Structure 1
Amino acid sequence: MTQSKRETERKYEPSSSGADGLPDLTGVGPVTSVTAAGPEVLDAVYHDTADLRLAGTSATLRRRTGGSDAGWHLKLPLAGDSREEVWAALSDDVPEALRELVLSRTRGAELRPVVRIRSVRSVRHLRDTEGRVLAVLSLDEVRADSLLAGGGRAEWSELEVELADGAHAGLLDTVERKLRKKGITRSDSPSKLVRALRDTGASREAGHSRQAPGEVVPGSPGAYVLAYLREQAGILVTLDPAVRRGQPDGVHKMRVTCRRLRSCLRSYRSVLDRRITDPLRAELRWLAGELGVERDQEVLRDRIGGAVVELPDDLVLGPVAARLRVWGVSHGDESRTRTREALASARYLRLLDALDELVRQPPLRAGAAGKTARVMAKAVLKEYDRLTGRMGHALEQPPEQSRDAALHQARKAAKKVRYAAEVARPALGKPVARLGKRAKAVQKVLGGHQDAVVAQDTLRELAVAAHSAGETAFTWGLLHGQERAAARARREELPSVWRAASDPALRAALRH
């Protein structure tokens, strides 16, 4: 069993050691009183792979005794000063649940003790007028011992300010201004582990096994493409724990990341050799497909369930909610299992390794060192021309299934324009940003149309099942009609949105 919480904190270099190093923060912002707690004696053994893969992605895994939360702690980076902390009960070995959550980072490599950190902690609680704890101020006297070959020992003092649950994040800024006036500055190490590895020399020893990244010319097309790929590959790894734990929108975000990676590799074939990237695109398509089963189920469940809730009670006839719930559970369990099996597979880990290898040793082509504006604009315009062709074809189709299929293909092309523009935006600026924004608008309309088309198919299945069970299918038919109307409305909206996206001035701006 695991528990999770959001941790928001900042670390500082104290002006002096010992309990006297804790500054008095009474009267700072909403802090009206400060109370003492502790001291605490903490003993933590940090685990990582031999080449420090967790530390390399700003994650930490430790087994700690002492304090009020003894146990295993996995900390995963979030935005700004925050991290997610996942707690598991004390055990001799790394809990399987935590081992699974770091799999995208470790790739199955053995987790072993790398550093032991012992701290004596003095604690102060910063309270408001009603006595509620707003933040915890602590001073740690730290001793770190490397457990890797060639590592040594390091000692230091560390001041930490951690927000309490529900406290306003602005309190950290208020406290920091006071600390700066007292000559207390932010630490250059985001965590104890980072400092311990650096000061004991362990990170230098482990770093010998790492490969240097492939060389690219700064400001070149290759540099921009690789920066985008590196960012998206990192996002894929970061999203993995959220998807495994079924967190809201995790599957959707990971699926979109796969699409961004695939699109970049396709659009910028003049930069990277497709003999290497095409097999990688195929694997990304596989992963997106596995995730898509669960994501499509989520979209349908929320869309149909929301539509049922909005209906007047007198139009909901029969056991509609019960049938929808059974449908959701049966399809949801199957799709969830498929996602988990994909993430547990060796194929998935090989894909992550291949992405790492791509950005470390990129298969550069001549276009990687070409004129940046020309190479990147050409790639974007090529996708734009493909979208133009597909939109023209779709708008000419009769109002039958063939048109729905053609509009779906146009939607895919609009995504490719948008993602190609994302890659080029740091290099080409506002002109490509405008084109990407227009392509996104087209994608949104076409996405609404596709969702309505898919929902119609599902509602028909539910109506048939209800009729076969002797239930009235009235409500399902009513919802089906609403989705037909929604699809028609999106088709009627599309021509004006497409006219804005096909403005010749957008193309002309990219060509200059």
Structure 2
Amino acid sequence: MVTHQVEIERKYDVSGTKKPKLKLHKLEHFTVGDPVEHEMSATYYDTADLLLSRAKVAVRRRTGGGDDGWHVKYEAGRARGELHHEPLKTAPTRLPAALRKVLLGLTLGEELSPVATVDTHRTLHPVLSEGQQYAELCLDAVTARDERAGVTRAWTECEVELTRDDLTEKQSRAVFEAVEKVLFAAGAAPSSSVAKIARALGQDGGDTVRVVSPADAPGNDAAGSGAADTASDTSGTGAAADAGDGRGTPEGADPKGSTSKGTKKDKGKKKHKGAAAAGPGQDRNPSAPKTPKKSTDHAGRSAAQDRESEGERDGNAPVAGKDRGPAREKPAERTGADVLSLMITRLTDQLQRWDFAVRIGAEDSVHQMRVRSRALRSVLQASRGFLADETVVDMEQRLKDLARVLGDARDQEVALERLDVLLEGQPSGVLSAAAKADLKEAARHLGTDTGRAVRRELDSAPYLQLLRDLRALGRGEGFTEETARVSAKKFSKAVLGAALNRVLVTATTTLPAAGEDVELSQMAADVGERISLPGKDPRQTAAAFDVLHETRKAAKSARYVCEALTAAHARPGKKRTRAAVVAKDYQDDLGVITDAAVMEEWLARAARSFQRTGKDRYAVGVLHGMELTELRNGMLESAEILEDLVEDLKDALPSRD
């Protein structure tokens, strides 16, 4: 059986090899119970490419302590937590099928193998107040072996974890502050580690981690006195390699390794201004002034360096290649292929992370996964000409099918949210408590059905193959030769320009003449049947709805493309970026109308359901009438909204490059 637990904890580093002397009797407002000793061992598992680590998920099999079994630690959206599963009686070292299924969207069926073994001697102190336990203070002496690199590391750390979920924010803060005061007095400091697994793999730790063996491992000094462990992930796919884009916090921890506010930076360590401004993993602004290199102490320079400088000052520059080292190569200019590859890879990573969040039922996960599927489709649509035609057509359709399944579930979420607002807005006594309860129950029932459909889709072979194909596309498979020839700047202008042009074309679509046959979506056809607009027949009304609905989707696509380019550090130009912001502003206005259509359709279905079951349809009728009015008023304003959108977009876009 899988159980879920949300963690609230803070971690602290302890320097040196000796156990710190904690004066726990000085804990203010709390007492400490008798300590309990535990010997624990945890084996961490991942794929060959550390796909779980990159997704901020850690899988371990722990023995010893009070939570023996399988753990999946994660960060999903704003939530951090753990999934627990008892070991299988017949095969305790085999990952249970329930957890394997939860991880399927991340691992894509790849085998998990041990990447690190972490042995911990834990001293656990219960933190008490008035006879009740509020938290646990754990002092851990850790020895960890990187199974891939064959390196063993050791360190000491403390962890404070709340053990009650009913504490107020003020009570929680009081616990942490009281314990921290004692820890800081003993020389502890807020942890710099994202997780034990990261330190085990040499991805963080600084001077708090000692390399135990082998003696010649990176970070071990000649005397073996515990120099800083600076070993990095040699595969380039772990947390250290991915720090620039927010990936690779293996146990779902935030970058500071705790839920507390940020820790103070080390004093006296100055950073290069350019690097600090750009941030990790970002391109430094090329227009920013270069910071001159600091002069080197003359005593630290070689005689050859002095002679070289003197010769240059005298105008007698040395012959290239004779006295100088090899000339530094100018970094190659980024191409469209570089940008497109990064855009697709990042969005696919995010899609897979939200897949995991959907599987564990995290809040807002269906919506966020749908957004990523649409963003990927938007990037492919805008990149026509830079991708093989058959690739675009195939991928677009498969992403559209995925978005449709997610969209049905999302529409039910929107309906439930909007239903709550509508019910709360009714005057007292208009709707009975029983009628309100029936409506909410109907919404929950439909949501359950669409949720099952989503889970079936995520477990399907075609969906998993889609993820594999997206990863291959992110590696450049399916790119045209032009993509590698064009510069990153020209590529960025082209794809965002294409996305914005689609908004203009869609918004100016001519409505059909009266009686003219035209292809319509089912939602639009329903709108045409239920409301009437002056001077328009039902098919023209439906076509008008399709235009505004498609325009809204085009505006969203432009926003997604602009955001993907920005995340890839590409520059499509200030005016195009501004135009994308304009499109986003109108997206919200159009969304009010489409949300009303979604709610109106849901209420119509609820009315049919209530009729079959004999339930009171009065409440449904009242709310349905309100939504029909909202929808009709929005449709009456839609033509003016689209005209303003087109005018503002044309004003924002550059007249020429």
**TM-score bin, normalised by smaller chain:** 0.7 to 0.9
Task: Determine the structure 2 residue equivalent to 1:352.
Answer: 467
CA-CA distance at 1:179 after TM superposition: 8.0
Q: 2:102: which partner in 1?
A: 101
Q: Match of 1:508?
A: 654
Name the structure 1 match of 2:3: 3
Aligned residues of 1:25 and 1:126 also touching (Cα < 8 A): no
> After superposition, where does 1:57-136 map in structure 2 within 5 Å?
57-77=55-75, 83-91=80-88, 92=92, 93-123=94-124
The residue that corresponds to 1:38 in the other structure is 36
Q: Quick one: which amino acid aligns to residue 473 of structure 2?
A: L
8 A contact 1:45–1:64 mirrored in 2: yes
- State the shift of 1:263 in Å: 0.4
Aligned partner (choices 181, 191, 197) of residue 193 of structure 1: 197
Q: Is the 8 A contact 1:316 1:475 kept in 2?
A: yes
> Secondary structure in 2 aligned to 1:17?
coil
Q: Which runs of 5+ in 1 are unaligned?
A: none
Matched, 1:382 2:492: no
- 1:411 aligned residue: 552
Which of 575, 595, 600 aligns to 1:451? It is 595
How many pairs does the alignment contain?
Answer: 501
The 1:162/1:231 distance shift into structure 2, 3 A limit, reads farther
Distance in 2 between residues matched to 1:245 and 1:251, nearest whole Å? 11
Does 2:446 correspond to 1:300?
no
CA distance in 2, matches of 1:25, 1:439: 62
Return 197-206 or 455-464, whichever deviates more. Answer: 197-206
Partner residue of 1:488? 632
Paired with 2:479 and 2:153, the residues of 1 have a C-alpha distance of 45
Per the TM alignment, residue 153 of structure 1 is displaced from its structure 2 partner at its CA by 5.5
1:342-363 deviation digits (Å, cap 9, x = unpaired): 1111112111212222223454
Shift of 1:262: 0.7
CA gap 1:305/1:373 in 2 versus in 1, 3 angstroms: same
> What does 1:99-498 correspond to in 2, within 5 Å?
99-123=100-124, 138-145=138-145, 152=150, 154-164=152-162, 189-198=193-202, 207=235, 219-316=334-431, 320-321=435-436, 323-325=438-440, 327-365=442-480, 366-393=482-509, 398=536, 400-425=541-566, 426=569, 427-428=571-572, 430-467=574-611, 473-491=617-635, 494=638, 495-496=640-641
CA deviation vs aligned residue, 1:470-505 (integer Å, no higher than 9, x gap): 666443332222112222343455435752663233
Partner of 1:19: 19
**Do 2:120 and 2:143's aligned partners in 1 also have CA atoms closer than 8 Å?**
yes
3-state secondary structure, aligned to 1:502 = helix
Report the AA paired with residue 507 of structure 1. Answer: L
Instruction: Measure the CA separation in 1 of the matches of 2:432 and 2:189.
Output: 66
Task: Report the Cα distance in structure 2 between the residues aligned to 1:5 and 1:498, rounded to whole angstroms.
Answer: 51
Q: Deviations over 1:435-469 (max 9, x none)?
A: 22221222222222112123223323333454566
- CA separation of 1:257 and 1:209: change in aligned 2, threshold 3 A: closer
* Conserved 8 A contact 1:104-1:240: yes
User: Structure 1 CA distance, aligned partners of 2:21 and 2:579?
Assistant: 55
Q: Retained in 2: the 8 A contact 1:115–1:196?
A: yes
Residue 86 of structure 1 aligns to a residue whose secondary structure is strand
Q: CA shift at 1:177, angstroms?
A: 11
Task: Give distance in 1, aligned partners of 2:430 and 2:499.
Answer: 46
Query: For 2:110, what is the secondary structure of its paired residue?
Result: coil
Kindly state the Cα deviation for residue 234 of structure 1 after the two structures are TM-superposed.
1.4
Pick closer, same or farther for the CA change 1:154–1:32 going to 2, 3 Å: farther
Q: Which string of whole-angstrom CA distances, capped at 9 and with x for unpartnered residues, describes residues 425-444 of structure 1? A: 44246544432222122222
- What is the alpha-carbon distance in structure 1 between the residues aligned to residue 548 and residue 340 of structure 2? 29
Are residues 145 and 312 of structure 1, via their aligned partners in 2, closer, same or farther at CA, if it must alter by over 3 Å? same
The one-letter code sitting in structure 2 at the alignment partner of 1:192 is: K
Give distance in 2, aligned partners of 1:125 and 1:433: 55
Percent identity between the two aligned chains: 29
1:284 and 1:185 map into 2 onto residues whose CA distance is 47
| Contact preservation (8 Å) 2:22, 2:182 | no
Provide the C-alpha distance between the structure 1 equivalents of 2:26 and 2:581, rounded to a whole number of angstroms.
49
Gap change, CA 1:145 and 1:431, over 3 Å in 2: same
- The change in CA–CA distance for 1:155 and 1:496 in structure 2 (over 3 A counts) is closer
Q: Map Cα deviations across residues 322-360 of structure 1 (whole Å, 9 max, x no partner).
A: 543553355333322211111111112111212222223
Deviation at 1:75, TM superposition (A): 0.7
CA-based RMSD of the aligned residues comes to: 4.2
| Structure-2 separation of matches of 1:56 and 1:315 | 53
What is the CA distance between 1:252 and its match in structure 2?
A: 1.0
Residue by residue over 1:377-423, the C-alpha shift from the partner in whole angstroms, topping out at 9 and shown as x without a partner, is 23223222222232223789937222122221222211122212223
What TM-score do the two structures reach when normalised by structure 2?
0.65
Secondary structure at 2:157 match in 1: strand
* Whole-angstrom CA distance in 1 between matches of 2:3 and 2:485: 49
Alpha-carbon separation, structure 2, partners of 1:178 and 1:161: 13
Contact 1:239–1:254 under 8 Å retained in 2: yes
Deviation at 1:313, TM superposition (A): 4.8
CA drift at 1:186: 6.7
**Gap change, CA 1:158 and 1:292, over 3 Å in 2:** same
User: Is the CA contact 1:139–1:158 (under 8 Å) kept in the aligned structure 2?
Assistant: yes
Distance 1:15 1:386, change over 3 A: closer
Between 153-162 and 395-404, the greater mean CA deviation after superposition: 395-404
Contact kept in structure 1, 2:408 and 2:450, CA below 8 Å: yes
Amino acid in structure 2 at the alignment position of 1:413: A
Once the two structures are TM-superposed, the CA of residue 98 in structure 1 deviates from its matched residue by 1.7
Partners of 1:438 and 1:501 within 8 A in 2: no
C-alpha deviation, 1:61, in angstroms:
1.2
Give the AA of the match of 2:3.
Answer: Q
Q: CA–CA distance in 1 between the matches of 2:7 and 2:437?
A: 39
Indicate conservation of the 8 Å contact 2:496/2:572, yes or no: no
Determine if contact 2:22/2:183 at 8 Å carries over to the other structure: no
Q: Offset of 1:152 from its aligned partner?
A: 3.5
* TM-score, normalising length: structure 1: 0.82
Partners of 1:452 and 1:312 in 2: CA distance: 21
